[in-house]
Structure 1
Amino acid sequence: MLFRKIQSRIQQYLKSDPNKVLIVSGARQVGKTYIIRDIGGKLFRSYVEINLLEDSLGAGLFKNVRTVEDFYLALSMKAGNKMRDRKNTLIFLDEIQAYPHLLTLLKFLKQDNKYTYIASGSLLGVTLAESSSIPIGSIEVIQMYPLDFEEFLRANGFGDHALDELRQKFLARESLDEPIHLRLMDLLKKYLLVGGLPDAVNSYLKDKNIAKVRAIQREIHEYYGLDAAKYDGEHRLKIRRIFEMIPSLLENKKKRVVVQDIENKKGKRFSDYQDEFDYLISSGI
C-alpha cells in the first residue's frame, strides 16, 4: 500500500468521537476510496461501503431518502447483517456528490449517533458550491490530492530517517553528497513523468514501463474530460475547451490563458468565463 499523508488524519478521526462527519474530497483516482476502505476495514469489526454513484445508476435505494428512518431502511436493504453496534460499525458513503440531499442528512445521522460515518466525493467542491442547505457545522471536508514528491520518494524506498535527513539539509541549505543528489534528481524526473496518481505510480513501481503509465494517464485524463463536461449545456463546451487547453498552456512560457482563444472570439474578458473557471477549480480536476 502506498503511504499517504492523509491517512493519519483519517485514522485520527475514526479512532476518536468527533462531533462532525469527515468527508474526503478529491478528484477521481487520487485514492480516496482505497485508503478509507483499507483503514476502515482494519479499525472496525463491521465495515459497510455504499457507492452512491453506482446506486444512482442502478437500484436507486437512496434516491428518495430524506429522513434518518428512511436512510436506515435503505441501509438495511443494502448491508443486511453487517450492521452492529455503533462502536463496531463504520458506514462509508462513497461518491456522496451523487446524492447532494444526503449531505444535509449527515447532520441528523450524526445526531442520532447510531453508527460511525465517513464519506468521500469527487466534484464535491462543485456540489458544495451549488447547494444552499449544506450543514456547515456538522461536516468537515478535507482535500486529498495525488502523491506529492515526498510520498513518491517513500514509494521508492525512502524511509523516515532518510527523509528527515534530507529535510534538515534543505532547511540548513547544505549541499547533498553527489550520489544522493543524482538519485534525487533521477527520481524527480521520474516523478514528473509518472505523476502522483496511485494507479500510475503502482504501475511504474511494478513494471518500470512508461508506456503502461502513459496508457493509465490517458484513461484518467479522459475521465477528467468527462467530468469537465458534466455541467449544463450552456457552459459544457467552454469548460471542456478550457480543460483541453491546459497542457499547451503549461508548455507556454507565460502560462497564461488568452481568453480570446477559448471560443476564438475577440473582445472576450476573463469575467465572461468566471463560472467555467470556478467550476474547474471547485471540481479539483
Structure 2
Amino acid sequence: MALRRKIEQDIRAYLSSDSNKMMIIDGARQVGKSFIIRQVGKELFPNYIEINMEADKLGDRIFAEAKTVKDFYLALSVVAGDRMKDRANTLVFIDEIQAYNHLLTLVKFLMSDRRFTFIASGSLLGVTLKKTQSIPIGSIIREHMYPLDFEEFLWANGVGEPLIQAMKESYENRRSLPESIHTKLMSLFRSYLLTGGMPDAVNTFLSTQNIVETRQIQTDIHELYGDDAAKYEQESARKLQIMRIYRMIPSNMENKKKRIVAKDIEGKQGKRMTDYLDEFEYLISSGVALEVKAISKPSYPLVQNSGKNLLKLYLNDVGLLTDVLYGTNIMPILKDIASINLGSVYESVVAQELRAHGHGLFYYDNKKLGEVDYLIDDQQHLSVVPIEVKSGKDYKVHSALDRFLSISEYNIHQAFVLSNERRIYQEQGITYLPIYDIIFL
C-alpha cells in the first residue's frame, strides 16, 4: 500500500522548481525516504535513474572513485546510459549518498553543471556531514523525514479530510468532539501506539492485523539501528558504548526521571555525560534517537538555555518502544489496565510528534519546583509553552506544572495537558486537550 506522506508535497515542489541546489532527504533508515522519492520521481520524469550507493559500495564499487563530474557521469553511464537524456526529463536519484563522502563534496559541481535533475537521500547524513571536510552547505536543501506521524497514520486508516478538519476546528474553537468520534480516534491512537510509524510495520498491520508479524518487523528495525553503529564508527569500544546507550533507552523510559545516567552506561563510577558526547551525537544525528534537553530557567528561544546534562533519549518511533516493552501482549495498550503505567509510551509518542512538526525537544527541570514533560517555543508571545502528558485518569494532578505557572517572570500565556479525556476546556490557565490533538501543536 502506498502510504500518503506530508513530505511528498516538498519533494514534488522541489522537482518542479529547476532549483540549483540538491535536495537531500535525511532521516533514519526504514522511515520511507526511498519509497516516496521513487514514487514521485517516476511520476514526474520519463527517464528515472536510481543508484543506491550503499549497494554499490558493497558490490561493484562503480562510483568509489567518481570524484569529478566527468568521472560521475562515466560511472552513471555504465548503469543507466540509455536513460541519460536532458535535464527536463531525466532525474538522477542518489540513494544513501552518505556511503561515499566524496559524493557530498561533488554535489556543488553536479548542480553547477546542470546536466540532469538530482535528488538524494541519506540515512546517516548528520553523522557523515560532521566527518566531511568540504560540506556543500550552499548547494543542498536538507530536509528531515520521520516515521509516519499520527495524522499520516489516520490517512493510512482511511480517515478523510472532513474528520481531520472537524478535529482541527474542535481544537481551534476549544469545543469537544462527540463521544462516538472521540472513541474512534482513541481506538486509532492506541493502534498507533502498537504499530508506530515505520511504513513496513504500518502496512503489515493494516493488511494482516497480525501483531506477531508487525512486531517482527519492529524487532528487526530495532536490531538494525543497534548494529548500524558498527558501520560508521571505527573504534570498537565506541561501537559498544553506542549500542549500550541505544539498548538502555527503553528501560530508562520506565524510570521515574527517564534520564541517561553516565555511570550506568559502562557500570563505572566517576563517568560523566561529557565522556559520551560523541556516542550521543551519533545516536541523535543518525535519527534513531530523539534528544530531550533539560531547561531550568525557561526563556525564548529555548535552544539558548539548554545543556547536555540531564539529557533524556527517546526512541524515534513509539512502535519500537512498545515492541520492546510489551512484545505481542497488546492488552496493556488496547485496554486501560490500572496496574500498567503507559506514561513513558505517551511521552514517547508526543516527543515523536513534536519533533516531526519541527519543534526542538526540551523539558523543564528544577530541583525545587519539579519537572514538566515538554516546553516548546511560543513565537507569538516570545515566551514558552509548557506541555504535560497524562496517560491515566489523574490527568488533573500536575503539581510541577502548577508551580511552573505560578512564576510570573516566566511570562507564560498558555499551557496544555494532553490526556485520554474527551472534553476540551480551560481551567486556571491550562487548556486540557485529548491526546490526539497533539497533531495540531
Q: Return the TM-score normalized by structure 1.
A: 0.98
TM-superposed deviation, 1:226 = 1.1
Counterpart in the other structure of 1:119: 120
Q: What secondary structure sits across from 1:255 in the alignment?
A: coil
TM-superposed deviation, 1:278 = 0.8
Offset from partner CA, 1:56-97 (integer Å, 9 cap, x none): 011101001111111110000011201111100000000111
Counterpart in the other structure of 1:146: 147
What amino acid is aligned across from residue 226 of structure 1 in structure 2?
D
Counterpart in the other structure of 2:31: 30
Counterpart in the other structure of 1:268: 271
TM-superposed deviation, 1:227 = 1.1
Structure 1 residues not aligned, in runs of 5+: none
TM-superposed deviation, 1:100 = 1.2
Cα distance between partner residues in 2 of 1:173 and 1:251: 33
> 5 Å matches for 1:190-201?
190-201=191-202
What amino acid is aligned across from residue 110 of structure 1 in structure 2?
M
What amino acid is aligned across from residue 236 of structure 1 in structure 2?
K
- Structure with more contact order per residue of length (Cα contacts < 8 Å, sep ≥ 6): 1
Counterpart in the other structure of 2:252: 249
What amino acid is aligned across from residue 57 of structure 2 in structure 1?
S
TM-superposed deviation, 1:256 = 0.8
Counterpart in the other structure of 2:408: none
Counterpart in the other structure of 1:10: 11
Cα distance between partner residues in 1 of 2:20 and 2:65: 26
**Number of aligned positions between the proteins:** 285
TM-superposed deviation, 1:234 = 3.5
Counterpart in the other structure of 2:219: 218
What amino acid is aligned across from residue 12 of structure 2 in structure 1?
Q
Q: What secondary structure sits across from 2:48 in the alignment?
A: strand
Query: Are the equivalent residues in 2 in contact too, given 1:33–1:120 (CA < 8 A)?
Result: yes
Cα distance between partner residues in 1 of 2:196 and 2:284: 19
Query: Are the equivalent residues in 1 in contact too, given 2:53–2:97 (CA < 8 A)?
Result: yes
Counterpart in the other structure of 1:184: 185
Query: Are the equivalent residues in 1 in contact too, given 2:20–2:114 (CA < 8 A)?
Result: no
Structure 2 residues not aligned, in runs of 5+: 289-441
Query: Are the equivalent residues in 2 in contact too, given 1:228–1:243 (CA < 8 A)?
Result: no
Offset from partner CA, 1:256-278 (integer Å, 9 cap, x none): 11111100000111111111101
TM-superposed deviation, 1:216 = 0.5
Cα distance between partner residues in 2 of 1:123 and 1:71: 22
Counterpart in the other structure of 2:110: 109
Higher strand residue share: 2
Offset from partner CA, 1:110-160 (integer Å, 9 cap, x none): 111000000001111100112120110001110000000000011111112
> 5 Å matches for 1:3-152?
3-152=4-153
Cα distance between partner residues in 2 of 1:252 and 1:212: 29
Query: Are the equivalent residues in 2 in contact too, given 1:229–1:239 (CA < 8 A)?
Result: no
TM-superposed deviation, 1:162 = 1.4
What amino acid is aligned across from residue 170 of structure 1 in structure 2?
Y
What amino acid is aligned across from residue 11 of structure 2 in structure 1?
I
Query: Are the equivalent residues in 1 in contact too, given 2:49–2:80 (CA < 8 A)?
Result: yes
Query: Are the equivalent residues in 1 in contact too, given 2:27–2:287 (CA < 8 A)?
Result: yes
